[in-house]
Amino acid sequence: DTGVSQDPRHKITKRGQNVTFRCDPISEHNRLYWYRQTLGQGPEFLTYFQNEAQLEKSRLLSDRFSAERPKGSFSTLEIQRTEQGDSAMYLCASSLDRVNSPLHFGNGTRLTVT
C-alpha cells in the first residue's frame, strides 16, 4: 500500500533557521494539500495544489512559508526564519480530482523550533 509519505517525521531546529519538508502523494492523486495541526486542535488548511498549480493559499501561510510542486508529483514546504510559533505537526494529504473525494493523509512532520 503506497500511501502518502512525508519526510522527515521529526525536525528540531533553532529559531531563525530554514527548514524544508517533503511530501510524496499517492501516485494517481493530482490534488495535494498541506495542513498544520497544533496540539489539541484540528488540522488547519495551508495550501492546495492541483497538479503543479498552487490554486489557493491560506492567510496562515505567511511570506516565510513557500510550497512547491514542480512536476505535479511530490511537494515541498519550506519555512524560512523559523519562529517558535511555527512548532506544529505539518500534514500533507492527497486526493483524486473529484470534489467529494476523501483526503488521504501522511503521518506528518513534527517540527519543534527551540
Q: Which residues lie near other proteins (CB under 8 A)?
A: 4, 6, 33, 40-45, 48, 55-56, 58, 91, 93, 99-100, 102-108, 110
Residue with Cβ nearer other proteins (76 or 80) = 76
Residue with Cβ nearer other proteins (71 or 98) = 98
8 Å CB contact between 63 and 12:
no
8 Å CB contact between 33 and 93:
yes
What is the amino acid identity at position 17? Q
Residue with Cβ nearer other proteins (79 or 92) = 92
Minimum distance from residue 102 beta carbon to other proteins (Å): 4
Cis peptide bond prior to 8, omega within 30° of 0: yes
